[in-house]
Amino acid sequence: QVQLVESGGGLVQGGDALRLSCVASGDTFDDYAIAWFRQAPGKEREFVAATKWSTDRTYYSGSVKGRFTISRDNALNAVYLQMNSLKPEDTAVYYCAADRGGFVSKTTDTYDYWGQGTQVTVSS
C-alpha cells in the first residue's frame, strides 16, 4: 500500500526558508505525479507545486512561483519542497499527494494518495 510521509515543517520568521520532504513507499513511482498542496485554517486545500516522477517538468501556483522549488531524489523515493522568502500567508498545513496515473492537476480529486501533512507557521 502506498504511503506518503511528510516532514520538515516548523515555526519560522518571515523571510526565512524551510525544506519539506515527502518520502513515498509501497510502489514503483516511475509513472506517478507528485504534488504539494496546503491548507490554511478556514480555507480550502490549494495547489502549491507538482512534478512528474519520470520527467524534469515542474508546475507551480502563481503565489509561490519564484520562491518555492519542487525537486525529487529518485533513489530515495523522496520529493522536496524548498521554500524561500517565506511570508505569513504561507502559513498552512502542507500535504504531499500522489497520482498513480501521472496526471498533474490543481484539484485535490485527481490524487489517489495523501500524506498526513506537516505544519508550517511563518511569523511576521
Confidence of residue 123 (pLDDT cuts 50, 70, 90): very high
pLDDT digits (tens, 9 = 90+) for 11-44: 999 999 999 999 999 998 889 999 999 999 999 9
pLDDT digits (tens, 9 = 90+) for 65-88: 999 999 999 899 999 999 999 999
Give the other-Cβ count within 10 Å of 94's Cβ: 23
What's the number of CA atoms in the CB half-sphere (13 Å) around residue 47?
20
Pick from 122, 119, 102: nearest CA to 111 = 102
Q: Read off the DSSP letter of residue 106.
A: S
